[in-house]
Structure 1
Amino acid sequence: MADIRDEFGQDLEILLAEVGELLAVTEESLVELEKSPDNADIVQELFRVMHTIKGGAATLGLQEAVDVSHGMESILDQIRSGERTLTTELLNVLFQAVDWLKEWKAALTERREVPPNAELVEIIRIAASEVAATSTEGGQSDAGVASAGTAGSISAGHDSAAPAEACDETTKSLDTAVSEGKNVSVLTVRFRSDAPLLSVRCFQILTLLDDIVEVVASTPSREEIEEDKATSTLLVYIVADDGGEAARELVTASPDVSEVTLEKYQHAGRGDAIRNGVAHGEASGAGAPGVKLPGAGAAGADTAVGTSKAGASGEHTGGTARSAPAKPGQSNQDAPVPRRSELGRTVRVDVGLLDFLMNMVGELVIDRTRLSQIATQLMRNPDTAAVGSEIGSLAAHLQRTSSELQEGIMQARLLPVKSIFSKFPRMMRDLSRRCGKEIDFEIEGENTELDRTVLEAIDDPLIHILRNSVDHGIELPEKRIAAGKSPRGRVVLSAVHEENQVVVRVEDDGAGIDAEKVKRSAVRKGLISEEVAQKLSEKEALELIFMPGFSTAEVATEVSGRGVGMDVVRANLEKVNGQIEVRTKLGEGTVVTLRLPLTLAIMRALLVRCKDQVYAIPTSSVEEVLSMADVTVGSIQGKPAMNVRGKVIPLISLEGALRDDLWSGNGHRYALLTRSSDQPLALGVDGLIGEEEIVVKEMGHMLSRLKGIAGATILAQGDPAVILDVNRVI
């Protein structure tokens, strides 16, 4: 596999990235097709996806993937044409093929040996041949009659009326193009006699030409090529400002092409030529010469330029010299740029480069904040006010410019949550079948965007949560019926923007979480004592599910119950400053909510002082700031509390919380209103410095494990400060 990567390099990397996206679409479409087996649009989309994967793999000589995708394509074509109906067994074969392609992609990405495909190809072949065997038995008598003398028509595989109609349409399109003053040329492409996968080669050439010229029509047509009805000769009618010379050179360098000829399209009487073009090409043979004029002096004639790979170097045919084929994209003369030649509007960028750019923007943010403070200090002194004002103007311009740069790079780092959500329908399908449950799985807000680092961090947590919904949440059909519910359970995965964060929810209408069962399980596993369990409220009991080793499952299964789950979920979320909340109602269902920052690199923070130490608290964690002088402070059950507009809110000291003694500490001047597990809380601090945009820095492996520490930052004065995760601190 290393040889393949070394040979194709970036081309393989691009292909694998595209295949990953296409396989995600395939899995999602197969799940939808299972629900709507008669949906022709889904079948057509799946066919096109497999055709694209096959073409890309064939381009790089990845035959294993070509075989598998071609087999899937054959089955989908049978379904699309109505030759067979979709069955569960057939769908399982398609899923098997997708799984193999995913493993194949992973192997190439990780430079491993690709998995063997012989057994799968045989399974696909048998599945595809079942309909063929049936058709043969049903049409045996007709085949016997046809074999007497119509071998040519059988091999063509077309109804005679269809090509004529198609040719008329092609002629009409070409005549229209000429009447509009367009310079139409004809490329005749002949493939080697031993060229494999002619349809793939034709598809590749049309795709290449689409990038540099306008393709008016082709024979065979695109539809015929997609139906695997390609021949050894391809006619392509193009519009190009240079007469098609660049297109000819590009096609000449394509794999398995033996000869390419170029001529100007004749407006009159070309209908017959179009109808007979492919037949003429086949009759002339793979190595037949192109259409040429004898001699070199035909300036006024419509000349055809022919290029043969067999003897292109300095060869003369009919007195006309032919130079060696140029590389793709190069021309032997300074031809005008074709009208359709445009660079793509998107490029693939390494994530490391985006991280680097974001770090540099972070340094700019620190510098601009520092510059603004220097300007403010200078303007306070009459002797330096003029300089301070000028620096202030410069700082304001830097603020605008760096903010736009920051916004642009942040946008480049954003990905729709669909990039990970798309794999869950397949996972939920398999899990529900394995557990014997009927589940309707829905996804909402899949176009909501999130920083790619945050997105990667929530992948595993969502897998854990969804598996729990299937295994522990949704009941078996008979139990749901007995409880007066629909036999089909419902699980909804949603994502939505809320202020400056993204909220992801997993909601099910299952049995809910039994708080008493949670307590008993925690006591049985030795996580808490019986006495402690009796004092826990329902909300406190739900917090036990996040303890390492906790599980309510009586027996471990391959789905869950091994005590590895929700503690890992919380740990992964804390790494990206995320929060998790669980709300449940026994017998009605559970909602798990993930609150995630839009980005990890730069954030707005409130700077507070506690015992002469400055801390940064993300503004997303603070709902309101109150002066202690404006509120009444009392106590409930011996613990501090404050009355805010008629609501009694527990008051926790930041100083005490950092020492694991929430209720100690006094003399606070300000209270920050926040929430923990959806409960309002007030956090007392000694001083309030102000709000500032900060750059999040990692603190290293050891310090990052400290409770409540979300990272560190460099303040405008150049001093370091710790960023607090308020939810974990309290």
Structure 2
Amino acid sequence: MNELLEQFLIETRELVQAAMEDLLALEAAPGDAEAVNRVFRAFHTLKGSVGLFDYPPWFALLHAAEDGLSAARAGTLSADANLIDVSLETLDATARWADAIETTERLPEAAAAEAGALAARYRSLLTRGPKTQVADIAALPGWVAHLVDASADRSGRPLTALRYRPREDCFFAGDDPLGLVRKVPGLLAVSVMPAAPWPPGEEFDAYACNLDITLLTAAPREEAETVFRLVGDQVTAVDVPGDRPTAAAGAAVAPALDAVVAAILAEQVRVLAAASGSDADAGRLEACARAAANALLSAGHDGDAENCERALERGSDALREAMEAILGGPTKPSPTEAGERLEPSEPFGGDAARTLRVDATRVDALLALVGELVVARNALGHLATRAEAGESVGTLARAIRDADANIGRLSATLHRNVVSLRLTPLSQVFRRFARPVREAARTLGKDVVLDFEGEDTEADKGIVENLFEPLLHVVRNALDHGLEDAATRRRREKPEAGHIRIEAGQDGDGIVVTVSDDGRGIDPAFIRRRAVERGLRSTEAVAAMDDDAVTDLIFAPGFSTAETVGALSGRGVGMDAVRAASERMGGRVSVESRIGLGTVVRLHLPRTISLVRVMVVGAGGESYGVAMDAIVEVVRKPRTSIHAVAGGNAAVLRGRTVPVVRLADLLGHGDSFTAAYDALLLIVHAAGETVALEVDRFEERIDAVVRPPSGLVGSVPGVAGTTPLGDGRVLLVLDPTTMLASALTVDRPPREGR
């Protein structure tokens, strides 16, 4: 796949997400003109991007979408549920087609048919929409009335008026505003004015476009708009009705003069009229004369161009009179000069999110650290020279330890800074929920309010990318099982609309993501009955459990509170997947609930992939790592204090009996038993129990970056990851909790006593 196509796919997904959010915002706040503008600009940009490639069905669909949104933007089509629905479906199709192109570099087989059906729905909306033509000439905007009055057309035929406000940086984008205007067929009148007051001479930027171009044409609206198809978000079109009242005599621009040239000359006249007599006016005078002469020469009016150049020698008044003579009379004041309020230009692209994917200050910090590492490395070379010179071993040992400590400090700092480059705001996950919540609420017939907090909380990119699926399960459960229907909520004196809140915050070195609802809550008595019905626990077992333990059963595989299998739930797959996903990310999940008030589910997750302090231990002649965070303590006990009990071995630790499990046995090294006098024990927690994990030897403690298990290792239970050792070997880092959970049986030794 070439680089241009890769960039196109990245931009497409970003635009789809942004447009989807704006459509949902528009649905929540009908009539939000700025939301309509943002959606239109997103679709317009999508269409322009797709136009760079050979995907005709896709381009045709986006063109139809742009037509519909343009009508909504002009107020001739209601931005109602019909338009929002078809636009969301168009975004869905766009996202799917982008995925297909990423894989196969071509559209799916059914894309043409789907695009045609969606485009037809847009056309249907436009057909049913209100008439786009203004019935009363008095109701036209002032800028349109000014154009009609200034035109030479007296035919009474329908016309099209367009207002083109180029972006300030349009020249750098390769746009030629006046060149586009020249391409409009059937031009009758053109007005070129400043979009904002001109700045003082010393602040004037010749490369910033400050134009407000209005034009009147006899061409049909579609034909005129086609000229501006690549800058459609900068153009507003208005249909002018036929049978208009005749304009005042003498107001027309001379028909023999090209409309664009006339507009340029008229603007130069206004600039000259605004001259203040300052030193800057000499340059302004020459610039106006040159602009007018060049415009006239381009249209073949060589004699008029010479008149302007000769008039320049006689001064400002002479030049202005010469231009007015060419125009056929004094220039009529612009709408702004006549007192009409000029609407502010839209900030085209100004409100678009600009993301610096890597903070430049973080890159600078990395470069500084690299410089320090180079210095530290040079110090090692100096130590080698001292060793070759025969310096004492004791002195060298101290110097080597100092160098090692310095490199260790630098590497730890470097690691933290590199990890910070991967930090991504959780807003990228949160913003994806508005659409599925909307669709699920519709399916269930519930009214739901969804809000967010803590979207700026940052976490490692891997955490953020893997967070959506487990959160989606939690949110669906809240929608389906948690929130009551409107009638039930009324009876319970609750607002008819249920409330779901997703929030995030930092908790020490980790983050906590919370999903809360104000629904019915979790009834432990119901969970007990359902657990027995599903055969997950016996009646006696659930009776002996406290309410917190019972509530925790919602995470059991196969557990579901749904009575029937539906689109959202009932298959027994959900909260167990949430717990499994949390554990894969190195986190945990907890739940709190109050009957009638709602439920809170919390995901406690690591914030970054950080350096892990690992204890290297031996078992059966091999070395393995165990994260120090997983070890409660390290104990050395005489082997005579370990006793055989029913189901295995046990030892007494501080007055409490704990199971003892050999790591070599868990790893299949049962024949490598050592007859050492003392047993070396790692005390860990597993399956709610305190367990002693016996190892053959303690080797060393190291700082390591633990990589998640992948490939064949990824399918081995109990492996937390891998890390390379200094001698080139790869160390397996074990997850003792997972390994011991399956090893422990119900026939455990008693917890208390000796």
Using structure 1 for the length normalisation, give the TM-score. 0.63
CA distance in 2, matches of 1:167, 1:346: 37
- Higher alpha-carbon Rg: 2
Distance in 1, Cα, partners of 2:614 & 2:9: 44
* Partner residue in 2 for 1:320: none
Any residues of structure 2 matched to 1:94-105 within 5 Å, and which?
Answer: 94-105=87-98
Query: What is the distance in 1 between the residues matched to 2:524 and 2:259?
Result: 71
1:387 alignment partner AA? L
1:133-192: CA deviation from partner (whole Å, max 9, x where unpaired): 3x449569999xx99935798234469xxx99973426964xx58655867699x9xxxx
Q: Residue 689 of structure 1: CA displacement?
A: 8.2
SS of 1:392's equivalent in the other structure is helix
Counterpart in 1 of 2:497? Answer: 488
Change (3 A) 1:653 1:603: farther
Which amino acid is the alignment partner of residue 192 of structure 2?
C
How far did 1:552 drift?
1.9
One-letter identity of the residue aligned with 2:107? E
Distance in 2, matches of 1:608 and 1:536, equals 38
What do residues 650-669 of structure 1 show as CA deviations (whole Å, max 9, x unaligned)? 97767699969xxxxxx999
Give the match for residue 14 of structure 1.
7
Query: Aligned AA for 2:569?
Result: S
C-alpha change, 1:564 and 1:141, in structure 2 (3 Å) is same
| 1:541 partnered with 2:550 | yes
Partner of 1:457: 466
In the alignment, which residue of structure 1 is the partner of 2:28? 35
Distance in 2 between the 1:514 and 1:419 partners?
A: 34
Q: Which residue does the alignment assign to 1:167?
A: 192
Residue deviations 1:173-229, cap 9 Å, x none? 4xx58655867699x9xxxxx9994324458xxxxxxxxxxxxxxxxxxx7447699
Report the Cα distance in structure 2 between the residues aligned to 1:641 and 1:432, rounded to whole angstroms. Answer: 55
Aligned to 2:154: 149
Paired position in structure 2 for 1:521: 530
**Residue 505 of structure 1 pairs with residue 505 of structure 2:** no
Give, in whole Å, the separation in 2 of the partners of 1:171 and 1:523.
74
TM-score (norm 2): 0.61
RMSD of Structure 2 on Structure 1 (CA): 5.6
Query: Kindly tell me: are residues 566 and 142 of structure 1, through their superposed partners in 2, closer, same or farther at Cα, counting changes over 3 Å?
Result: closer
On the 8 A contact 2:504/2:514 being kept in 1, the answer is: yes
Q: Does the 8 Å CA contact 1:198/1:232 hold for their aligned counterparts?
A: no
Residue correspondence of structure 1 range 547-558 to structure 2 within 5 A: 547-558=556-567
Q: 1:711 aligns with which of 692, 711, 721?
A: 721
**Aligned residues of 1:511 and 1:588 also touching (Cα < 8 A):** yes
Which amino acid in the other structure matches residue 509 of structure 2? N
Identity of aligned residues (%): 25
Aligned to 1:296: none
Q: 1:156 to 1:50 in 2, by over 3 A?
A: same
Contact 2:163 2:237 in 1 (8 A): no
Does residue 228 of structure 2 align to residue 199 of structure 1? yes
Question: 2: CA distance between counterparts of 1:551 and 1:171?
Answer: 63
Deviations 1:545-567 (A, max 9, x none): 33332222111001111122223
Match of 1:474 in 2: 483
Identify which range, 122-131 or 164-173, moves more after superposition: 164-173
Confirm or deny: 8 A CA contact 1:578 1:597 kept in the other structure: yes
Q: Distance in 2 between matches of 1:85 and 1:519?
A: 52
Q: Which SS does the other structure have where 1:605 is aligned?
A: strand
**Structure 1 alignment gaps of length 5 or more:** 189-193, 204-222, 238-264, 294-343, 630-638, 661-666
The more displaced of 547-556 and 520-529 is 520-529
- Letter of the 2:285 counterpart: A
- Provide the rounded CA distance (Å) in 1 between the counterparts of 2:592 and 2:613: 28
Q: Structure 2 CA distance, aligned partners of 1:82 and 1:276?
A: 41
Q: Does 1:603 align with 2:611?
A: yes
* 8 A Cα contact 2:83 2:122, kept in partner: no
- Deviation larger for 667-676 or 47-56: 667-676
Do the aligned partners of residues 202 and 386 (structure 1) sit closer, same or farther apart at CA in structure 2, a change above 3 Å counting?
A: same
Aligned-pair distance for 1:470? 0.8
The change in CA–CA distance for 1:703 and 1:27 in structure 2 (over 3 A counts) is same
For the residue of structure 1 that corresponds to 2:527, the secondary structure is: helix
- 1:580 counterpart residue number: 589
State the distance in 2 between where 1:640 and 1:694 align. Answer: 32
Distance across 1 between alignment mates of 2:195 and 2:289? 11
Q: Deviations over 1:48-81 (max 9, x none)?
A: 2222222222233544343333333333333334
Q: The residue matched to 1:42 in structure 2 has which SS?
A: helix
- The alignment status of 1:74 with 2:64, answered yes or no, reads no
Against the structure 1 CA distance between its residues 511 and 725, is the aligned structure 2 distance closer, same or farther, given a 3 Å change threshold? farther
Secondary structure in 1 matching 2:721: strand
User: What pairs with 1:175-254 in structure 2 (closer than 5 Å)?
Assistant: 176=199, 197-202=226-231, 224-225=234-235
CA deviations 1:580-633 (Å, max 9, x no partner) are 222222322222222222344x432353869899765546667x769999xxxx
Aligned to 1:696: 706
CA positional deviation for 1:14:
0.6
The correspondence of residues 47-446 of structure 1 with structure 2, limited to 5 A, is 47-111=40-104, 112-114=106-108, 115-116=111-112, 117-133=115-131, 135-136=132-133, 149-150=154-155, 154-157=159-162, 167-169=192-194, 173=198, 176=199, 197-202=226-231, 224-225=234-235, 267-268=284-285, 383-446=392-455
Displacement of 1:488 in angstroms is 1.6
Contact 1:413/1:452 (8 A) holds in 2: yes
Structure 2 counterpart SS, 1:710 = strand
- Do 1:610 and 1:685's aligned partners in 2 also have CA atoms closer than 8 Å? no
Return the alpha-carbon distance in structure 1 between the equivalents of residues 596 and 657 of structure 2. Answer: 31
SS of residue matched to 2:94: helix
Tell me the distance in 1 between the aligned counterparts of 2:513 and 2:452: 11
One-letter code of the match for 1:713? T
Which sits farther off after the overlay, 124-133 or 497-506? 124-133
- One-letter code of the match for 1:27? M
> More displaced, 521-530 or 465-474?
521-530
Deviations 1:459-497 (A, max 9, x none): 222222211111111111111222232222111112222
Q: Does the 8 Å CA contact 1:168/1:271 hold for their aligned counterparts?
A: no
Secondary structure of the structure 2 residue equivalent to 1:155: strand
Contact 1:199 1:226 survives alignment (8 Å): no
Separation in structure 2 between the aligned mates of residue 24 and residue 42 of structure 1, nearest angstrom: 14
Partner of 1:590: 599
Structure 1 residues 589, 727: CA separation in 2 closer, same or farther (over 3 Å shift)?
A: farther
| Equivalent AA in structure 1 for residue 44 of structure 2 | H
* Distance in structure 1 (CA, Å) of the matches to 2:192 and 2:539: 85
| Conserved? CA contact 1:614–1:721, under 8 Å | yes
Alignment match, 1:314: none
Match of 1:634 in 2: none
Does the residue aligned with 1:59 lie in a helix, a strand or coil? coil
Provide the rounded CA distance (Å) in 2 between the counterparts of 1:650 and 1:36: 63
Whole-Å separation in 2 of the counterparts to 1:61 and 1:598: 43
Aligned residue pairs total: 571
Query: What CA distance in whole angstroms lies between the structure 2 residues aligned with 1:566 and 1:454?
Result: 18
Could you give the per-residue CA deviations for residues 118-141 of structure 1, whole angstroms, max 9, x where no partner exists? Answer: 1101111221333353x4495699
Deviations 1:437-477 (A, max 9, x none): 11111122222222222223222222222111111111111
How far the C-alpha of 1:435 sits from its partner, in A, is 0.4
Residue 587 of structure 2 corresponds to residue 562 of structure 1: no
Could you say which residue in structure 2 is the equivalent of 1:326? none
Deviation, structure 1 residue 88: 2.2
Kept after mapping to 2: 8 A contact 1:178/1:267:
no
* Residue equivalent to 1:338: none
Q: Which amino acid aligns with 1:125?
A: R
SS of the residue corresponding to residue 484 of structure 2 reads coil
Q: How far apart are the structure 1 equivalents of 2:523 and 2:208?
A: 75
Q: Which amino acid aligns with 2:442?
A: R
